[in-house]
Amino acid sequence: MEAGKVDEKNKVLVAIDESEHSHYALQWALENLEHSIIRDSKLILFSVISIEDLGYTYASSFGAALSFTAPELILSIQENQKKVKLAILEKAKETCAQHGVVAETQTEFGNPKEAICEAVEKLNVQLLVLGSHSRGALQRAFLGSVSNYCVHHANCTVLVVKKPRQ
């Protein structure tokens, strides 16, 4: 690409986590948007290593509060979480390859809701694809809804894919 020239290719960002819901959303997008959107776009598989995940991992592994950890331990936990997320992204990338689609991957640390919306803005994404965890009202009240937040705050079209109940 020449200096100063804007990349004209549309960008689609698919948020991926360890849940079956996000992988279902990716699969759905590849099967249903393949010809009209996915093949003509730059596909970005995006995962967030959340601060909450780091605290949970530490608390469950060591039984202490995150605020009492040594910096080396926190870095070690972050590296382990990053390895897990990269493996999840590689699996998603293989799914794309099976559909003949080349995808890029990206991982960020932070709050998933905010990190996804920031990535949409920073990468100039035209379509964000998210899976829905189908949480009830009580769970959404306590845990929040990433998809709901992104629908209201992402600066692009947002497609929320809900996995049918079995």
CA-to-CA dists, residue 110 to 25, 72, 119, 144, angstroms: 22, 19, 11, 15
Asked if residue 80 lies in contact with residue 58, where contact means CB atoms within 8 angstroms, the answer is: no
Q: Average pLDDT over the chain, rounded to whole? A: 81
* Confidence label for 93 from pLDDT (cuts 50, 70 and 90): very high
Which has the higher per-residue pLDDT, 156 or 52?
156
pTM for the model stands at 0.79
Give the rounded percent of residues in the chain with a pLDDT score beyond 70.
75
Note the pLDDT tens digit of each residue in 33-47: 866 677 778 999 999
Report the pLDDT averaged over residues 116-125.
Answer: 97
* pLDDT exceeds 80 at position 141: no
The residues spanned by each domain of the chain are 10-50+86-162
Report the pLDDT averaged over residues 68-74.
Answer: 69
Which has the higher per-residue pLDDT, 94 or 9?
94
- Tell the CATH superfamily of the 10-50+86-162 domain: HUPs (3.40.50.620)
